[in-house]
């Protein structure tokens, strides 16, 4: 009666919300695919979005692949009036209110542990079987263990699903299974079990345009397993890296800035006799530059030369600047809280959640992410930094301490995230890329003319020919090549699908 429509999206952007407001009216849905059968005129594919999609930098809180369709960002609400006026408001903000404590007060650990256990408990169904992804790492391993603890004698309802491609993964995955007697363990030891070229049409049909994150399809073996075993809820460990189990390593900067030399002394690595020298060095020269940050920047510099977007579009859409901005995974920050607030507000996370939510829901599965719980993240932000790093610089200390005794020690205190990637890396560096180059060459010859206005055809064919002739190899080049193949294929299928849908609509109107 007031002539208004009110829309709101959950704080963390887990569930998608698309809307369109124009002369045809106001339409909202949880997928862009819902707009295609409506007789609202054609939808315009965004050339800018397609160029960014090819570079893997299209993630956005608000923009979609169609110019007419927008997304409502997480933690926002929108009031649309009958005259077309819109009032957009952010209704939630995380607060950086951690006190500058000098010693670890156990009340903070208990508060975090309580928030963590509730983040899992509130997502547990009361009766049906439960799926949980378990890679053997701290994030998914602690979720699996906490579910098992809460289920207690009902642990037979729990199914643990995991990929184990690297050397250390099988033992760490099974550590939780052995501790709690988890009988249902489904491990995938080889990639390539599914033809992603066949999965892409399903993604497009569900979401309305190509998926911007590969996990939506990569976890297809888990969706199939859940369907076969009548599992309707699947837990995931995603979200920890961005917040409560972040590996930010610039605590020296923060403690130096705050004059917390006691905490600085505690986190310095190495033999006690060498610590005075390390402390003096830190006081005189400041902390060392993040080696991981530099390595990531170097990787993006290695991959940029392989991009195949036309120069005029690179210039018009500022793609090179955006590409290297996206490489700043480890943003320079003065505190760990500042860093995490940056991480959880990027467009990357909701785009992944949107894609995974849509794909899983098509199998009747509700995907849940307890580490992405807003109350848990706020409790972590409210905890003093001295709880977030341990002695000798042990990372992710607060979460490790909170799950100790529930999660197996070999998982809770596994020093690094690396699960033995070196063997996989060696194999990837040795692998011939000739067949992939030929596949790309075939895609370039058969792709729609619309993509020819985005891709630099001459450069793409030149790179392809030299790659075949020289039998070029290497992870950086292989990763770029795989991206080209998957994304050109996805865009091709999307354009073809769009044409088919609109032809069907026209035909139905004629009939």
What is the arithmetic mean of pLDDT over 267-285?
69
How many angstroms separate the CA atoms of 212 and 102, rounded? 43
Confidence of residue 331 (pLDDT cuts 50, 70, 90): low
Q: For residue 85, is it left (φ>0), alpha (ψ between -120 and 50) or beta?
A: beta
414 versus 259: the higher-pLDDT residue is 414
pLDDT of residue 177: 95
For 168-187, letters b (16+ CB in 10 Å) and e give: bbeebbbbbbebbebebbbb
Asked whether residue 208 carries a pLDDT value surpassing 80, the answer given is yes
Asked whether residue 267 carries a pLDDT value surpassing 90, the answer given is no
pTM above 0.85, yes or no: yes
How many angstroms separate the CA atoms of 416 and 136, rounded? 12
pLDDT of residue 324: 84
DSSP class per residue in 436-489: HHHHHHHHHHHS-HHHHTTB-HHHHHHHHHHHHHHT---HHHHHHHHHHHHHHH
Q: Is 108 helix (H, G, I), strand (E, B) or coil?
A: helix
Q: Phi and psi (nearest 5°) for 77?
A: -130, 155
How many angstroms separate the CA atoms of 148 and 160, rounded? 10
Query: Of the ranges 46-50, 143-147, 249-253, which one carries the lowest mean pLDDT score?
Result: 249-253
Asked whether residue 54 carries a pLDDT value surpassing 70, the answer given is yes
Asked whether residue 501 carries a pLDDT value surpassing 50, the answer given is yes
467 versus 333: the higher-pLDDT residue is 467
Extended beta strands in 338-465, E state: 366-368
Confidence of residue 19 (pLDDT cuts 50, 70, 90): very high
Confidence of residue 506 (pLDDT cuts 50, 70, 90): very low
Asked whether residue 237 carries a pLDDT value surpassing 70, the answer given is yes
Neighbours of 109 (CB within 10 A): 17
Asked whether residue 108 carries a pLDDT value surpassing 70, the answer given is yes
* Residues 57-92 pLDDT 10s: 999 999 999 999 999 999 999 999 988 899 999 999
335 alpha carbon, distance to own chain's centre: 23
Neighbours of 397 (CB within 10 A): 21
pLDDT of residue 413: 95
194 versus 275: the higher-pLDDT residue is 275
Asked whether residue 337 carries a pLDDT value surpassing 50, the answer given is yes
Asked whether residue 116 carries a pLDDT value surpassing 60, the answer given is yes
Q: Which residue has the tokens 């530059």?
A: 289
- The segment with the largest mean pLDDT, out of 43-57, 181-195, 425-439, is 43-57
500 versus 511: the higher-pLDDT residue is 500
How many angstroms separate the CA atoms of 455 and 306, rounded? 12
For 46-83, letters b (16+ CB in 10 Å) and e give: bbbbbbbbbbbbbbbbebbbbebbbbbbbbbebebeee
Distances (CA, A) of 13 to 26, 179, 347: 21, 34, 10
pLDDT of residue 100: 87
pLDDT of residue 195: 61
Average pLDDT value over all residues in the chain: 88
Q: Which residue has the tokens 């009032």?
A: 87
Asked whether residue 321 carries a pLDDT value surpassing 70, the answer given is yes
pLDDT of residue 192: 52
Nearest-5° angle of CA 367, CA 368, CA 373? 155
How many angstroms separate the CA atoms of 144 and 136, rounded? 9
How many angstroms separate the CA atoms of 337 and 377, rounded? 10
CB under 8 Å to 85, separation ≥6 — which residues? Answer: none
Burial of 275 (0-12, 13-18, 19+ CB in 10 A): middle
Confidence of residue 142 (pLDDT cuts 50, 70, 90): very high
- Tell me what percent of the residues of the chain surpass a pLDDT of 70: 88
Q: Phi and psi (nearest 5°) for 300?
A: -70, -35
pLDDT of residue 225: 95
How many angstroms separate the CA atoms of 307 and 511, rounded? 46
What is the arithmetic mean of pLDDT over 265-286?
69
Confidence of residue 283 (pLDDT cuts 50, 70, 90): low
Confidence of residue 511 (pLDDT cuts 50, 70, 90): very low
Query: Of the ranges 274-283, 359-368, 488-497, which one carries the lowest mean pLDDT score?
Result: 274-283
Confidence of residue 504 (pLDDT cuts 50, 70, 90): very low
Confidence of residue 166 (pLDDT cuts 50, 70, 90): confident
The length of the chain in residues reads 511
Confidence of residue 423 (pLDDT cuts 50, 70, 90): low
pLDDT of residue 498: 85
140 versus 296: the higher-pLDDT residue is 140
198 versus 356: the higher-pLDDT residue is 356
Sign of CA dihedral 466, 467, 473, 478: positive
pLDDT of residue 502: 44
59, 355 in Cβ contact below 8 A?
no
41 versus 266: the higher-pLDDT residue is 266
């Amino acid at each position: 009666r007031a002539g208004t429509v009110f829309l709101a999206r959950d704080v963390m952007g887990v569930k998608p919300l698309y809307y369109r407001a124009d002369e045809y009216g106001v339409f909202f849905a949880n997928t862009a695919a819902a707009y295609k059968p409506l007789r609202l005129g054609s939808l315009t594919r965004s050339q800018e979005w397609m160029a960014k999609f090819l570079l893997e930098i299209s993630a956005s809180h608000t923009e979609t692949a169609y110019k007419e369709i927008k997304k409502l960002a997480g933690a926002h609400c929108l009031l649309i009036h009958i005259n077309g006026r819109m009032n957009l408001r952010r209704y939630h903000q995380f607060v950086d209110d951690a006190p500058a404590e000098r010693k670890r007060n156990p009340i903070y650990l208990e508060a975090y542990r309580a928030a963590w256990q509730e983040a899992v408990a509130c997502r547990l169904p009361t009766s049906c079987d439960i799926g949980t992804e378990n890679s053997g790492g701290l994030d998914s391993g602690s979720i699996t263990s906490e579910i098992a603890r809460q289920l207690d004698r009902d642990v037979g309802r729990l199914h643990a699903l995991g990929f184990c491609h690297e050397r250390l993964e099988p033992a760490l995955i099974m550590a939780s299974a052995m501790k709690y007697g988890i009988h249902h363990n489904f491990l995938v030891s080889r990639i390539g079990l599914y033809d992603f070229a066949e999965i892409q049409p399903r993604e497009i049909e569900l979401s309305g345009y190509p998926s911007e994150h590969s996990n939506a399809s990569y976890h297809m073996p888990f969706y199939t397993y859940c369907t076969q075993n009548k599992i309707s809820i699947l837990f995931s460990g995603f979200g920890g890296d961005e917040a409560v189990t972040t590996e930010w390593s610039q605590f020296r900067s923060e403690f130096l800035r705050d004059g917390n030399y006691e905490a600085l002394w505690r986190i310095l690595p190495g033999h006690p006799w060498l610590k005075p020298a390390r402390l003096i060095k830190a006081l005189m020269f400041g902390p060392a530059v993040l080696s991981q940050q530099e390595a990531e920047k170097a990787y993006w510099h290695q991959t940029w030369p392989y991009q195949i977007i036309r120069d005029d579009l690179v210039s018009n859409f500022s793609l090179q600047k955006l590409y290297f901005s996206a490489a700043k995974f480890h943003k320079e920050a003065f505190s760990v809280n500042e860093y995490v607030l940056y991480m959880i507000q990027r467009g990357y996370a909701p785009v992944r959640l949107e894609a995974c939510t849509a794909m899983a829901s098509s199998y009747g599965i509700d995907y849940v992410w307890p580490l992405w719980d807003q109350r848990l993240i706020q409790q972590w932000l409210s905890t003093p930094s001295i709880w977030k790093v341990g002695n000798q610089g042990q990372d992710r200390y607060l979460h490790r301490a909170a799950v100790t005794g529930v999660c197996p020690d070999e998982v809770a205190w596994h020093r690094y995230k690396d699960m033995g990637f070196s063997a996989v890396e060696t194999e990837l560096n040795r692998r011939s890329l000739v067949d992939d180059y030929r596949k790309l060459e075939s895609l370039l010859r058969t792709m729609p003319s619309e993509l020819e206005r985005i891709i630099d055809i001459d450069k793409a064919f030149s790179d392809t020919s030299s790659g075949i002739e020289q039998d070029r190899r290497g992870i950086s080049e292989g990763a770029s090549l795989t991206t080209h193949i998957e994304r050109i294929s996805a865009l091709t299928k999307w354009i073809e699908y769009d044409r088919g849908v609109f032809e069907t609509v026209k035909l139905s109107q004629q009939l």
